[in-house]
């Protein structure tokens, strides 16, 4: 109950944090999807790059988020705030996104690809008309994991000056205010679920009904 | 970049925190295995299998709560210190272990189990010698995932007085010293790799020769 | 016309060639059935014709055009390609699958729509029922039919078929074969048809090309192959009952002794029936001969003795 009261009392502050959190995650997701999708497609075509790129993603993923934020913060061109936060989070998103794009494309039945080739699709057409559409389910699994994860890690960006929901938790800890902490945790979860649903809608639009059946199999 | 400061951090400032950090990782990981593994096993037994979906949904929803929040949430009840950090990290490590225990045991085909029963194995023997052994690689992947995740998340424990390597990294952030952050991160990375290797080694010893 | 001249293919990393010096001609309007055990090189030959595989040496021509001089994508758009049902794109509807190549060739949408309807009807499907369905919603037989429709979409003169009826049960397969042969009578495509089933090859092929270990072992009409198997490998492939199979390819009218018109007595068969049918009638009713009729008119007789002589002769031709 007191959590609710807290949320009402600090409505404007919380709204600002929520909006900031939302826009940060959305910025990161849009940049990441464009960038890591391209990289995933690239390494599915140039196999010799795949090992190195996926390895790099794994290493980045193992660095604690707070370290990555902290290191970027000390680079003068990035500094405190959004630029460092965006860069760190985009790097975090690399592993799940690149991996799933790569796996998705690789998991397309080679016989289907070859059928397309036999029909006379060029290699560009094969990619966009067969490989990518058939990989969407796996790619979207990656996107949805990533969006939930990034929403969570974005809270840590409060330590480098982002005014987002992490600040509620951070200040809740320093002031030992459980309502503040709970409010922060609760709203972050709601934001994560909303973004996940948003991606779910996009998924529904992009994944062919002909493939949804296969997923259930 | 002050290389002297970097080396000092690496060799003198960090070592005491390494032990604290190891404790912050191993205790929750051990507890998480003790809790999640039996849960996973129970949820693969025929009479409880139907609850598996619901329990996993709850654990999955739990995963949407950010690590920072999990760490913080127990603070008001348990106060500052090692305990709230351990409980939070334990909860955070549960999901991958439970999920992979269920996946690993379920991946053993009915035919194999049937064959084992046909050879006269008791249910307990089927469980320990067939289901667990064949499911072990997948279960171990879950434990390793949790281990690597916990090594990183444990950094946040410093915020609630749990100490560990987080103390070094937050000092770096507060004083704007990349040397501290870099040195701390390097140690944490090495710890993650070491732990992963040790678990791989453990798996190698548990598995009978022909399954290695 | 499809022509292969001394075509050899060695896959990288493999010591022995998959196809060794094969020369083969498929005349316009003819079905050539490539048959042989798995790994004999028959599929490789097919895939060289649309350049999914590039030959190591030798040349291939389609209508006297060296295919190595054609852009492979353009080449393939001009060749119908039918493979087992997996070849349908699972994320596209039936309509979109059939329209695939016309879209690549940028046909106007109206024309594509018409063409799709026409083709689905031709292969014996209810257009309104299937057009919006996805492949997983279809039966095996329907998928194969759509595979054929898709290959026919831009009316290519040449078609390549790789075990096109392989993934359906035997009864559906027989029906699909019959339907396809009927279509072929009006389309007169030049077709390479890969199968591992000798009976299918006999039925579908105007000519049969038998492959073994990368070599073309024998190339001829089903009758030539049955009558004169080139070696013991072909004999084994054809099977013990090649005499009977041979009779399946001969019409009664070709073997019968003409007889003055009269009324049928005893057991009778039609002049256009196969000699095998006549043999079956004789065996079933334990008689030495049957009357041959055209409609109701008796035109001749066919005796046990005649059939025996024919099979024997055909067999000894092989020896000589």
Mutation to test the A interface, candidates C74, C81, C90, most A Cβ within 10 Å: C90
Asked if the Cβ–Cβ distance from C76 to A130 is below 8 Å, we say no
Position B117 pLDDT exceeds 50 = yes
Q: Is residue B212 part of a domain?
A: no
**Do the chains contact at C81 and A112, CB–CB below 8 Å?**
no
ipTM: 0.78
User: Residues of chain A with pLDDT > 90: what percent?
Assistant: 52
CATH class as words, domain A2-216: mainly alpha
The torsion of the CA quartet C49, C53, C57, C59, rounded to 10 degrees, works out to 20
Neighbours of B138 (CB within 10 A): 18
C154-195, pLDDT tens digit by residue? 999 999 999 988 878 888 888 889 899 989 988 899 999 999
Q: How many domains does chain B have?
A: 1
CATH of the domain at B156: 1.10.3720.10
User: Could you tell me which of A74, A59, A35 has the C-alpha nearest to residue A83?
Assistant: A74
- What is the distance in angstroms between the Cα of A124 and the nearest Cα belonging to chain B? 37
Residues C97-119 pLDDT 10s? 999 999 999 999 999 999 999 99
Q: Return the residue of A nearest to C77 by Cα.
A: A120
> Is B145 a member of any domain?
yes
Instruction: Please tell me the distance from the alpha carbon of residue A162 to that of residue B3, in angstroms, as a whole number.
Output: 29
What does C53-71 look like in DSSP terms, one character per residue? S--SEEEEEETTEEGGGS-
Q: A20 pLDDT exceeds 90?
A: yes
CA-based torsion, B170, B172, B178, B183: positive or negative: negative
Provide the number of CB pairs (under 8 Å) joining chain A to chain C. Answer: 73
Q: In B, which residues are within 8 Å of A148 by CB distance?
A: 63-64
In a domain, B72, yes or no: yes
Chain B positions touching A59 (Cβ under 8 A) are: 189
A67–B155: do the CB atoms touch at under 8 Å? yes
C-chain CB neighbours of A120 within 8 Å are 73-79, 101, 104
User: Does the structure show a pLDDT above 50 at A200?
Assistant: yes
**Would you place residue C262 in the very low, low, confident or very high pLDDT band (cuts 50, 70, 90)?**
low
Q: How far is CA A81 from CA A38, A158, A163, in A?
A: 27, 8, 9
- pLDDT for the residue numbered C320: 38
- Residue A47 CA to residue A124 CA, distance in Å, equals 17
SS3 of B31, please?
Answer: helix
Helices (H), C82-126: 94-98, 100-104, 109-122
Q: For chain C, which chains pass the contact test of at least 3 CB pairs under 8 Å? A: A
Residues of A with CB under 8 A from a CB of C: 109, 111-112, 114-122, 125, 129-130, 133-134, 208-211, 213-214
C219 CA: distance to closest CA in chain A (Å): 26
Structural domain for B17, as ranges? 3-206
Assess whether pLDDT exceeds 90 at residue C255.
Answer: no
pLDDT score for A216: 44
B184 in contact with chain A, both atoms CB, cutoff 8 A: yes
Segment B61-83, tens digit of pLDDT: 777 788 888 888 887 778 788 88
């Amino acid at each position: 109950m007191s959590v609710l009261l807290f949320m009402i009392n600090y409505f404007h502050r919380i709204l600002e944090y929520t909006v900031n959190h939302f826009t940060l995650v959305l910025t990161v997701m849009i940049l990441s999807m464009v960038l890591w999708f391209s990289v995933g497609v690239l390494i599915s075509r140039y196999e010799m790059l795949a090992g190195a790129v996926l390895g790099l993603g794994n290493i980045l993923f193992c660095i604690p988020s707070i370290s990555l934020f902290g290191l970027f913060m000390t680079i003068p061109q990035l500094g405190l705030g959004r630029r460092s936060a965006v860069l760190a989070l985009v790097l975090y998103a690399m592993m799940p996104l690149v991996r799933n794009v790569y796996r998705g494309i690789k998991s397309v039945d080679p016989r289907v690809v070859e059928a397309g080739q036999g029909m006379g699709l060029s290699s560009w057409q094969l990619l966009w008309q067969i490989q990518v559409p058939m990989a969407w389910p796996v790619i979207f699994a990656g996107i949805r994991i990533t969006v939930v994860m990034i929403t969570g890690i974005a809270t840590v960006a409060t330590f480098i000056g982002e005014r987002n929901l992490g600040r509620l938790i951070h200040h809740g800890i320093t002031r030992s205010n459980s309502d503040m902490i709970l409010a922060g945790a609760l709203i972050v979860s709601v934001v994560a679920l909303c973004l996940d649903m948003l991606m779910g809608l996009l998924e529904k639009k992009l994944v062919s009904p002909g493939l949804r059946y296969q997923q259930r199999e | 970049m002050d290389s002297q400061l970097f080396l000092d951090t690496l060799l003198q400032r960090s070592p005491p925190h390494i032990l604290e950090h190891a404790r912050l990782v191993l205790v929750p990981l051990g507890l998480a295995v003790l809790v999640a593994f039996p849960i996973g096993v129970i949820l693969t037994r025929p009479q409880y299998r139907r609850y598996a979906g619901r329990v996993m949904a709850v654990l999955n929803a739990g995963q949407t709560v950010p690590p920072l929040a999990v760490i913080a949430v127990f603070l008001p009840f348990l106060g500052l210190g090692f305990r709230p950090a351990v409980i939070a990290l334990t909860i955070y490590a549960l999901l991958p272990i439970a999920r992979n225990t269920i996946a690993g045991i379920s991946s053993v085909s009915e035919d194999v189990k049937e064959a084992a029963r046909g050879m006269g194995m008791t249910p307990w023997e089927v469980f320990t010698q067939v289901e667990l052994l064949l499911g072990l690689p997948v279960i171990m992947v879950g434990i390793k995932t949790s281990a690597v995740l916990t090594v990183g998340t444990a950094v946040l424990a410093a915020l609630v007085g749990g100490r560990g390597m987080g103390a070094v990294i937050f000092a770096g952030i507060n004083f704007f010293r990349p040397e501290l952050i870099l040195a701390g991160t390097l140690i944490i990375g090495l710890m993650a790799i070491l732990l992963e290797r040790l678990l791989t080694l453990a798996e190698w010893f548990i598995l009978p020769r022909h399954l290695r | 016309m499809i022509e292969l001249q001394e075509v050899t293919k060695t896959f990288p990393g493999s010591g022995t060639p998959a196809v060794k010096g094969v020369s083969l001609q498929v005349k316009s309007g003819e079905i050539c059935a490539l048959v042989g055990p798995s790994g004999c090189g028959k599929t490789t030959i097919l895939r060289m014709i649309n350049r999914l595989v590039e030959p190591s040496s030798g040349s291939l021509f389609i209508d006297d055009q060296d295919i190595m001089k054609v852009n492979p994508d353009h080449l393939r758009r001009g060749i119908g390609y039918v493979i087992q049902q997996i070849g349908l794109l699972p994320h596209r509807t039936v309509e979109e699958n059939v329209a695939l190549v016309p879209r690549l060739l940028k046909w106007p949408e109206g024309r594509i729509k018409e063409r799709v309807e026409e083709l689905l009807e031709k292969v014996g499907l209810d257009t309104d029922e299937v057009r919006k369905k996805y492949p997983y919603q279809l039966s095996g037989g329907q998928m194969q039919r759509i595979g054929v429709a898709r290959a026919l979409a831009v009316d290519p003169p040449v078609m390549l078929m790789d075990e096109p009826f392989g993934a359906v049960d035997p009864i559906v397969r027989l029906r699909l074969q019959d339907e396809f042969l009927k279509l072929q009578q009006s389309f007169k495509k030049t077709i390479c048809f890969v199968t591992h089933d000798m009976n299918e090859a006999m039925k579908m092929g105007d000519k049969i090309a038998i492959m073994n270990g990368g070599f073309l072992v024998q190339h001829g009409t089903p009758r030539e192959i049955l009558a004169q198997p080139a070696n013991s490998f072909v004999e084994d492939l054809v099977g013990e009952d090649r005499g009977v199979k041979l009779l399946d390819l001969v019409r009664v009218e070709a073997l019968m002794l003409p007889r003055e018109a009269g009324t049928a007595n005893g057991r009778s068969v039609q002049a256009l029936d196969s000699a095998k049918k006549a043999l079956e009638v004789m065996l079933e009713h334990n008689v030495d001969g049957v009357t041959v009729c055209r409609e109701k008119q008796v035109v001749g007789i066919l005796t046990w003795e005649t059939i025996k002589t024919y099979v024997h002769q055909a067999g000894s031709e092989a020896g000589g």
